[in-house]
């Protein structure tokens, strides 16, 4: 029996999909890239913005036909939108067989077992297809949930309070991935650098294992060539973390550190717990410690109350910090968040700010990557024709390459966000 996975949302969801996929494979099912040959469809949903949720739900709408085409097909709805709507989602889509909300991912094995038990599953054992995206570079979730309450954000309500994976569990998972051939590990959490593990102390004074300790411990595992992490929160980006990043050779010179806004008054209204000045000071420290580092960010435009002056501060922050690239999001009101009752701007104004912000961010991004033209870069090959630099630029490669190997390549074109490179 085969299963197909459709994942929406962030890396946390990709990691959850991989975890659920591993469980299904252990149960004797095989992953397929083709929905037509699947008997089980897993749709892992996101609800961070209205649009993200609607995309997942229109997929569910289309699946009614898919399910009717073959008797016994099952639809499993998982993730954040499933968590948010679990009380009434089966009214809207009665043909869904199982709902596993984001808070219950750990219960997936038990819940899905009940579903599978209703029919024979081991008719067609086939372990040939590896989990996608998991072969060279893999996500490892080190904490779930979020203890912040940024006023625009629905994540805390659908993912719950922070739970940290014990250090040994994290290291065990890293070892498993490396044994399967993975070379690059990305540690995941909503505020990943707030990680700590009280169950296991290090040093003579019995201090908790913190994020720096974890970076060092992961680096100590044979076969881990590269380490990344996301998303760090500026508040926990301590000197200690920066020192570890600079010291541990496997930690890549790339950081995705969401700022959301360049205006202090917006940051306060968003309850982000840092100021513009603190964020910029951090960028300075990071660039001083790791001059090659690329720094990217997330920005929300059109948060309620954002004046032209506030918006201008965001544009100037992108310039001042010389951010290497950014994801610019249009504010989306989410029911149940602290900001949900605030009056929203018109879609036209939000659209206009979005375009303006994208233009600034894209101009700087082009400028920054054009400096890479002609340089020699260390690239970890991810598939037959693409790899990534340590700075996290995706590179289309020409030359004789194999997934999993590290090559040196000359960057030949930087016009598009995916660079061109030729292996030397
Ligand atoms: N935990 C991460 C962010 C997770 S959500 C952090 O705090 O850095 C990913 C991104 O979605 C956020 O960085 C934010 O830019 C965006 N986002 C979250 N809620 C949003 C909303 N209601 N409207 C628009 N963008 C939103
Ligand atoms: Fe959302 Fe803020 Fe938590 Fe990130 S830190 S997940 S933006 S509440
Ligand atoms: Fe979306 Fe959930 Fe991630 S809401 S952004 S999939 S944590």
What pLDDT, in 10s, does the model give residues 375-413? 999 999 999 999 999 999 999 999 999 999 999 999 999
| pLDDT tens-digit series, residues 57-79 | 999 999 999 999 988 899 999 99
d(CA 194, ligand 2 centre) in Å? 12
d(CA 190, ligand 3 centre) in Å? 9
Which structure tokens are listed for 260?
A: 């959301």
What is the pLDDT at residue 116?
77
- From the list 70, 122, 126, 75, the residue with the least C-alpha distance to 96 is 75
Is 255-369 in the same CATH topology as 2-117? no
Cα gap 34→351, rounded to integer Å: 36
Tell me if 339 CB under 6 Å of ligand 2: no
| pLDDT tens-digit series, residues 95-146 | 999 999 999 998 999 888 878 765 443 333 333 333 445 789 999 999 999 9
Query: Per residue in 109-120, is it b (16+ CB within 10 Å) or e — as a string?
Result: eeebeeebeeee
> Going by CATH, does the domain composed of 255-369 fall within 3.30.565.10?
no
Residue 17 DSSP SS3: helix
> Of all atoms in ligand 2, which is nearest to the CA of residue 153?
1
What is the pLDDT at residue 119?
45
**Mutation test residue for ligand 2: of 49, 83, 153, the one with most atoms within 8 Å of CB:** 153
Q: How large is the average pLDDT for residues 222-227?
A: 97
Tell me if 274 CB under 6 Å of ligand 2: no
CATH number belonging to domain 376-423: 2.40.50
> Of all atoms in ligand 2, which is nearest to the CA of residue 146?
3
Q: Judge whether 171 and 221 are in contact, CB under 8 Å.
A: yes
- From the list 102, 55, 95, 47, the residue with the least C-alpha distance to 75 is 95
CATH number belonging to domain 133-252: 3.30.750.210
Lowest mean pLDDT among 200-204, 289-293, 405-409: 200-204
Q: Where are the domains of the chain?
A: 2-117, 133-252, 255-369, 376-423
Ligand nearest to the CA of 49: 1
d(CA 378, ligand 3 centre) in Å? 31
d(CA 418, ligand 1 centre) in Å? 24
96: Cα within 13 Å, side-chain hemisphere = 24
> Of all atoms in ligand 3, which is nearest to the CA of residue 47?
4
Ligand nearest to the CA of 273: 2
Q: Which residues lie across from 141 on neighbouring strands?
A: 188
Which structure tokens are listed for 55?
A: 């995309």
| pLDDT tens-digit series, residues 46-59 | 999 999 999 999 99
Quickly list DSSP for 309-376.
HHHHHHHHHHHHHT-SEEEEEE----TTSGGGGSPPPPHHHHHHHHHHHHHHHHHHHHHHHHTTTT-E
Q: How high does pLDDT run on average in the chain?
A: 92
Q: Is the pLDDT of residue 204 over 60?
A: no
CA-nearest residue for atom 18, ligand 1, is 153
| pLDDT band of 201, cuts 50, 70, 90 | low
> When comparing pLDDT for 84 and 27, which is higher?
84
Ligand nearest to the CA of 14: 3
- From the list 89, 108, 99, 91, the residue with the least C-alpha distance to 23 is 108
Tell me if 191 CB under 6 Å of ligand 2: yes
> When comparing pLDDT for 206 and 424, which is higher?
424
Tell me if 153 CB under 6 Å of ligand 3: no
> Going by CATH, does the domain composed of 2-117 fall within 3.30.70.100?
no
Cα gap 140→171, rounded to integer Å: 10
Helices then strands (H, E): number in the chain?
13, 20
**Mutation test residue for ligand 3: of 155, 163, 189, 334, the one with most atoms within 8 Å of CB:** 155
Q: Is the pLDDT of residue 223 over 80?
A: yes
- From the list 130, 134, 375, 246, the residue with the least C-alpha distance to 393 is 375
**Mutation test residue for ligand 2: of 83, 144, 155, the one with most atoms within 8 Å of CB:** 155
């Amino acid at each position: 029996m085969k299963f197909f996975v459709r994942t929406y949302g962030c890396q946390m969801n990709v990691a959850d999909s991989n975890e659920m996929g591993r469980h299904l494979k252990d149960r004797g099912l095989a992953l397929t890239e083709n929905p037509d040959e699947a008997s089980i469809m897993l749709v892992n949903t996101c609800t961070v913005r209205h649009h993200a949720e609607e995309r997942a739900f229109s997929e569910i709408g289309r699946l009614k036909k898919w399910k009717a085409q073959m008797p016994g097909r099952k639809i499993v709805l998982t993730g954040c939108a499933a968590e948010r709507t679990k009380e009434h989602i089966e009214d809207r889509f009665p043909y869904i067989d199982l709902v596993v909300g984001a808070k219950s991912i750990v219960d997936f094995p038990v819940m899905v077992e009940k579903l599978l038990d209703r029919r024979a599953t081991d008719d067609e054992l086939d372990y040939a297809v590896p989990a996608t995206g998991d072969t060279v570079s893999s996500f490892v979730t080190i904490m779930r949930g979020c203890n912040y309450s940024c006023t625009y954000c629905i994540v805390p309500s659908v993912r719950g309070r922070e739970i940290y994976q014990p250090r040994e569990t994290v290291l065990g998972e890293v070892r498993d991935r490396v044994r399967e051939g993975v070379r690059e590990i990305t540690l995941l959490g909503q505020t990943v650098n707030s990680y700590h593990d009280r169950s296991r102390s290090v040093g003579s004074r019995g201090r908790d294992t913190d994020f720096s300790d974890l970076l060092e411990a992961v680096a100590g595992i044979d076969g881990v060539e590269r380490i990344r992490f996301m998303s760090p929160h500026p508040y926990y980006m301590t000197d200690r973390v920066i020192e570890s990043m600079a010291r541990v050779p496997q930690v890549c010179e790339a950081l995705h550190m969401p700022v959301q806004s360049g205006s202090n008054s917006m940051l306060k209204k968003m309850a982000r717990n840092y100021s513009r000045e603190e964020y910029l000071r951090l960028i300075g420290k990071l660039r001083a410690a790791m001059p090659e580092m690329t720094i990217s960010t997330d920005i929300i435009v059109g948060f309620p109350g954002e004046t032209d002056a506030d918006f201008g501060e965001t544009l100037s922050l992108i310039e001042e910090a010389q951010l290497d690239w950014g994801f610019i999001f249009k504010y989306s009101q989410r029911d149940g968040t602290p900001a949900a009752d605030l009056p929203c701007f018109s879609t036209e104004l939000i659209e206009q700010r979005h375009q303006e912000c994208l233009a600034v961010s894209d101009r700087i991004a082009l400028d920054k990557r054009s400096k890479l033209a002609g340089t020699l870069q260390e690239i970890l090959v991810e598939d037959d024709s693409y790899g990534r630099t340590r700075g996290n630029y995706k590179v289309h490669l020409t030359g004789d390459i194999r997934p999993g190997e590290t090559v040196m390549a000359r960057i030949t074109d930087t016009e598009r966000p995916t660079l061109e490179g030729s292996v030397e």
